[in-house]
Amino acid sequence: MRRLLRNALVMIIVLVCVAATVHLFDWRTIGRALTKLHVGLLLGAGIPLLLATSAMRGWRWLVVLGIRAGRTNLWQSFCANGAAAGLASLTPFQIGEAIKIRMIPDHHGKGWRLGVSAFFLERLLDLGTLCSIGLGGLAIHFGYAWLAPLALLLPLGGCLVLSLLCRSLRLPGKLLPYTEVLRHTPRVVMAAALTIPLWLLYVALWWVATHAMNVPLDLTQVAILLGGVMLVVVASMTPGGLGVSELGSRSVLLWLGVSAADAEIGAIAIRLLTPMIAVIGLACLVPLLGQLHRKK
């Protein structure tokens, strides 16, 4: 019953946001902008950046699990994280994460506890880094550029403190499955260090997407846009942030002083990344399915 209500809530959010997007956006202007899309820039720079994010996520997943980053493990983790990202762009509730959990030894038994803890740490790092990138962008926007590097280091320091607390405090039994990985401080620090460049790659990716649609945003504006929009998308739990991302992007860009037309074109530019992520995810899924078939 709880799952049914949660799914119903997500569908209501999607329908309301999509309806608002269809009503608010000037689709004729967007259509004209799409005819001037720089496809070469979007694909030529976007695909390598997306592959780099999957590689970085794959490396981080191995670090979080404490698995040696050999060539075979890196390739499997790269494919698993690419496939998970592709499924996440199409499905709600992080369904793609189940693919990553299958990499854990004994994932049918005690490994699920490790998977839950690793998933919790990754989401914690992602949310913290998104906040820090957004804060860094705001610091530069308001003339306090010296605060931006400090903002980027906040997730690293915060997770280090949290890890030390988990090791020293006696936590309630219900929290133990979520904190198992947090008690391994070196893993936490390394994963946090990898998360910062991971999301900076996404800043570059969004910059490429907006410029491919001729929306001239600087990196500071893109950092604020990424931080604000992704936090709303994660909170909404909608598949790929459908509708939520468009409205959030439009609102942030309008706040940054961008014209209404460019704000809407910029929001659609970000949406153009979704099919690219999905296609790469499906391509990453193929070798995983082949490996599963061979095991049978």
| Per-residue confidence band for 53, with pLDDT thresholds at 50, 70 and 90 | very high
Task: Quick: pLDDT tens for 102-149.
Answer: 666 554 455 566 777 888 888 889 999 999 999 999 999 998 888 888
The candidate with the shortest Cα–Cα distance to 125, out of 192, 185, 78, 210, is 192
> What is the average pLDDT value for the chain, to the nearest integer?
85
pLDDT at 171 over 70: no
Look up residue 278 and give its amino acid.
A
Q: How far apart are alpha carbons 17 and 243 in whole angstroms?
A: 5
Q: Worst-scoring range by mean pLDDT, 69-83, 134-148, 231-245? A: 231-245
Average pLDDT over residues 43-64: 94
Nearest to 237 by CA among 49, 1, 3: 3
Q: How far is CA 123 from the centre of its chain?
A: 9
